[in-house]
Amino acid sequence: MIFITVKFPVRPELSAQWLDIVRDFTEATRAEPGNLFFDWSRSVADPNEYVLVEGFRDGEAGRAHVESAHFRQAMETLAGAVAAKPRIISVDLPDRSGWDEMGEITPREA
């Protein structure tokens, strides 16, 4: 599995619109056959920063993603919405197909 986390510093005047700006990109990526997850969160420390957590089945699926027309279009669109270059962590995790359950916590009965 290719596991990627990207921090996007968004222009303050566009921060409230970010999820609308990335909607088509998000939907197209989630529809890719090799995509495992593609999830956005807003930073609690900086309201102008969004964090993307994404996973792809393998290197081939990751390559197909960055070579797709929707990826190229998104990079063009997002260049006008970011305040600085996004920061990324990308790792290849062998023998993984997604999320595991966390063993250290179990919900209590209400």
**Both structure tokens of 75:** 């990079």
The rounded distance, in Å, linking the Cα atoms of 47 and 42 is 7
Per the listing, tokens 């593609």 go with 38
pLDDT reading at 95 higher than 90: no
Q: Report residue 94's pLDDT band, with 50, 70 and 90 as the boundaries.
A: confident
The rounded distance, in Å, linking the Cα atoms of 66 and 36 is 15
> Do the Cβ atoms of 88 and 5 come closer than 8 Å?
yes
List pLDDT tens digits, range 17-73.
999 999 999 999 999 999 999 999 999 999 999 999 999 999 999 999 999 999 999
Distance of CA 16 to the CA centre of its chain: 17
